[in-house]
Structure 1
Amino acid sequence: MAPLFSLLLPVFLSLFLQSCQFSTSALPSLTKRASLSVENPNDVLVSPSGAFSAGFFPVGDNAYSFAVWFSHPPCSGAACTPVWMANRQAPVNGRRSTFSLLDSGNLVLTDAGHAGSKVWSSGTTSPSAAELRLNNTGNLVLTNDTGGVLWQSFDSPTDTLLPQQPLTRNTFLISARCPYNSSTGFYKLYFDNDNVLRLLFDGPSISSVYWPFPWVQSSQLGRFLYNSSRIAVLDPLGRFQSSDNYSLYTSDYGVAAMQRRMILDFDGNLRVYSREPGLTGWAVTWEAISSMPCFIHGVCGNNSLCSYDPAKGRSCSCVPGYVPKVLGDWSAGCVPNFTFSDGCIADECGFVKLPYIDFYGYDYNTIYNTTLEKCRQTCLSLCNCRGFQYRVSMFRSGSTTFNCYPKIELLNGHNLPSFTGEFFIKVPKNKTFTEDQLVKRTRYTCSPTAEVKVLDRTYAKKGKNEAVSFMLRAACVVGGIEIVVVFLVWFFLIRNQQDVTSAHQSYLLAATGFKRFTYDELKEATRNFSKEIGRGAGGIVYEALLPDDRVAAVKVLSNATTGEADFLAEASTIGRVNHMNLIEMWGYCAEGKHRLLVYEFMEHGSLAQNLSSPELHWKRRFDIAVGTAKGLAYLHEECLEWVLHCDVKPQNILLDSDYQPKVADFGLSKLMDRGKVTNSDFSRIRGTRGYMAPEWVSNQSITSKADVYSYGIVMLEMVTGIFPMTTSVHSLESGGDAKQVRLIPWARNKMKELERTGARLEEMEDPALKVDYDLKKMEILIEVALKCVEEDKNARPTMSQVVEKLMKHENDG
């Protein structure tokens, strides 16, 4: 042991003493083993021209992001204009946080307030020397000793594109939440699957494309769909060119000596800003939507209207009978100030006429060439109809038709004087509402409360006494020697334990095919997590190509707080679950704070994405009902552990290449012993509103019958095409979700009406089916679904009973 000790001792002492030293000098570049400190204002990287700086940027009270900003003309703090941020979602505190280039070649941002936790990293490795520099273009570049690029900020933009910075198929812009809140907002600029550059509103509950205008075909706008690349660049002279044949010129195009930036602003508009050297103010020299800013989706939220005055800008107002959900925050929209009876009685309903008002999208169905009275009766007969649009369509031949558009959601509303139609909003007859409410407008702004949390932490003060400082340094030397000795002893002892752990992991891989991946492996497989294919409360899912050429889905868990050992135990249990109607898990990653799951890729996405697709014909829908029931029955009664899914919904039912269903996200539910079927030890309400069983909010024990209830709601939605969250808004006062309760009585009443009068069952079917259905199977499926959504959980069937009932009729017809 002595020879090995003598060889390693100088190395460990050198490393340890370096860790005891502190440097406050500004650096022209960042080299290995060097750091920038949040506490030292001089710790910044500056481009050779002085136009850009990189360092810690204040984003709140004691909250900082590592950022790149314009630094010419000179500026300080929040007065500077940032163009890139590493950690916009997780600011670090203003004491002892550092940005370091490790000896491994990895850039790491650490927050000392979280015990030195890693907030962000570049995920790079370099056996040779590495150096970080800031270029004159504003690009922060990490290179190896031969000049090869290991990482650059241009490959991961936030909300801004700089001249010469490409936007590609693997990159996108996401707006900030507000001018004073740099965390991610609701708007996204990206290339879609048709290779067209688009703007998307991605709100808390819905998403929709709004630029180019979705009612105009891309070919009519000159966009070229069939190209082999997706790339767009703003050049230094002010021209923006995209591979889909879209181009723009700023109003100051051709002036070379200008600072420029393209930014997706918090209000959803894409703009180019310019300024002359030496000036502090920015001027808008181009914007995507200038004449009709109310066409930007999500501006005023649900059940509200956007109006535009060139002198005052945009303003928002609630429709008659509705009030703001969150005062001062129009993105939250409005909620009704009234209620309807649960029976959905048409005689209780009336309409308020709103001229020159349009709500884009979310039509229940379009009824062509009809009368106003028939349109009114159609909306009255639909419990989830919020109102209807009645407008005239004029053709080149001179003929006209009057068309009806019942709305199941009131979104993207705007006041348009040139609109050739009227909107009628449904309200109770016993209350009086007038269109005078529409004048109560408020200018569109963000929420008055900043969402960046104050990082309030207390730290011990640094010692100022020189004698104490000398003693601390001496202690470092002595401690270093002790650490070397302890390390060598630990090294030899731990090898045996590592061999045992390695053998266990090898056995798990051989027995189940369940592999442990490193974070760097999955980062490479997902191309730096560039292609998002889904997201939910549990995390974000990305498409990946594994080293063995298998296409996979990688879920990055957002709220995983379990330790590595606990996570491994749960993940390995999930890996051993095997059923044709359950998503197959291929592996996991538990490294530092990262918790990821790797599972098979589903070609057709989720049931939610396909509900309105003509490919989802009746036979496939019935097969999905049977397959989903089989998967849940296996989880409840047959697998290694008794598993509650806790979040059965269309988004968690995935479809393979043959549209066969596979239940996903069951690994995020709570695992319990089979014998404890009445266990209610849940720390919080789980699931998604609209699909949750009543017992979640009534303090009853949670059993597998909660999943049965959610399954019933999904089946009703799949048959009727009615989303369970589309009726009027109520509170949860009576132990049930009043939004979803509207769908259940409506379905029950329709079935009773069928028995009593012989009414047509077709009235319940999803319009997307277009008479392609089996009446007998539809009736059976609705009956089973209504049994599943009984208020009394004991009256609901088990999932195995559901399977048995449906299987009897699977081959009928």
Structure 2
Amino acid sequence: MDNDGNLRIYSTSESSGNITPTWAAVTDQCQVYGFCGNMGVCGYKDSNPVCGCPSQNFDPVDEHDGRKGCRRKVEIEDCPGDVTMLQLEHTKFLTYPPEVNDQTFIVGSVACRMNCLVSGSCIGSTLVADGSGICYMKTTDFVSGYQGAVLPSTSFLKVCGQAVPNPSSYLDTSGNDNDSLLHAMVIVVVVLVTLLSLFAIVTGFWCWFYGGSKKSRRMSAQYELVDYASGAPVKFSYKELQHSTKGFSESLGEGGFGVVYKGTLANRMVIAVKQLEGIEQGEMQFRMEVATISSTHHLNLVRLVGFCSDGRHRLLVYEFLRSGSLDKFLFTSNDQSEKLLTWENRFNIALGTGRGITYLHEECRDCIIHCDIKPENILLDEGYTAKVSDFGLAKLMNPKDHRHLSLASIRGTRGYLAPEWLANHPITSKCDVYSYGMVLLEIVSGRRNFEVSPETDGKKFSLWAYLEFEKGHTEAIVDKRIKDVDSEEAERAIMVSFWCIQEQPSQRPMMGKVVQMLEGVIDIERPPAPKLVAEGLSSGTAMTVNSDVSGLQTYAASTPAPSSSSSFMNIGASPPTPEREMGKESSSLLGSK
């Protein structure tokens, strides 16, 4: 092992006594992990490897020895201002397989950068720009970079304040002409092969489409959107998923559109498979979810791995999160103290959930309304990072038209439904804000918002909580089972929750502002007393109301809300009976431990 970190075999000439290397473990010296030290970037100059710093936001550890690495001028934890992402073109961060397996995602450039920026554990990320869309995040304290003119990758690195790139001549890689020419030739060959393959696929599809039966052509047109969406997630056959789930034997839960099963792929990746039921409803759910979920990538959203469109079978494949859903941790009994979340966990979950919903509302090309925010649809990974799940109820909204006039089905969970849902008022992103407010109150208290008990004087908990808040008894609202509660954060969360559950949508803040209030970035005014939904519409059981599009009425915002019974009549459904109130148990994409 040489002092440059590479392993070589040398031979000695008997005649001259010269020692020459005959073999090296790594032929490209810049590929040796840590060759340029921590935060160092390796490149070539005159065919020799040279080390430098990523940008002018860094200083070399030793001015005379670039291999000792670099350090930030201002460390992230000491940053007085905003943390930004430095973008490094034609650069990749070297990794070892163990960290790659846990931190690899298939996303776009923006998501690769933003997911790292919002993650407290991520230092940098690399997007492989070879068409695969693979992004891997660096969560270790050691970053080893490699920069080359023909490297098909872009990397991002956290810095304090504005990123200040190096001069273009700082790390000159033009000296490695032979390697560059070789890489360029390889890229040309790959591009040509790819184009020829695409041509063959298109030709085959054309022959199949125009040579097939009329029925086949109708089915192809019917699922055109799904075929288009298959470029991002993996397309599985029904037999593959049947084998992965052992014949769909291990059920994780049942929802309105089908059962969710646990499975394992050939590469040992554990998945959650949602088997959609009913060709009409299943198709609608399938077309919507594949089109929307596959285009959304965020740290706080459950990732869609793939789908199946095999004959009449419609299935969705999600990542499997072992910790399960939030409700299993909030509403635990006293003998399940091992599942009790700390205050720090709870506050981070509240923030993560808010950021995920903010992404859906404000950062996607089209506003995506979830329509069923509740603890059962907030899933946790092993580090208790919140991930919003179940986009089956989401509706894509035109940002220029905040009304959605084609809701073919109204679905949600009572206790979390905004008043306008049942009053036939326009459905906007403020409905999710209301639901989030109820969930936030439950995160703080560990109790269902619709719970009625002697301790709450026979009132619903959400109403009783506001009365206690008015008296200045915020400690009475906080879950008494947890210790070391940050009283300032708790009061902030309680005030935000009451702002979110205001009856009038115009009084509720946007989700982006909700997150800022929770973070303490902006001040929070004292919230007015929220007028809660009528008692009969807030019992907390699952509710599904289906109707024809023609049966839906939308009212102007100034129109008085009809009563609970009339709202059911307006949408063409009768008031719920006890049997209908039971509903189906909400499906979680995950299993609990």
Q: Decide which structure has greater helix share.
A: 2
Highest CA radius of gyration, 1 or 2? 1
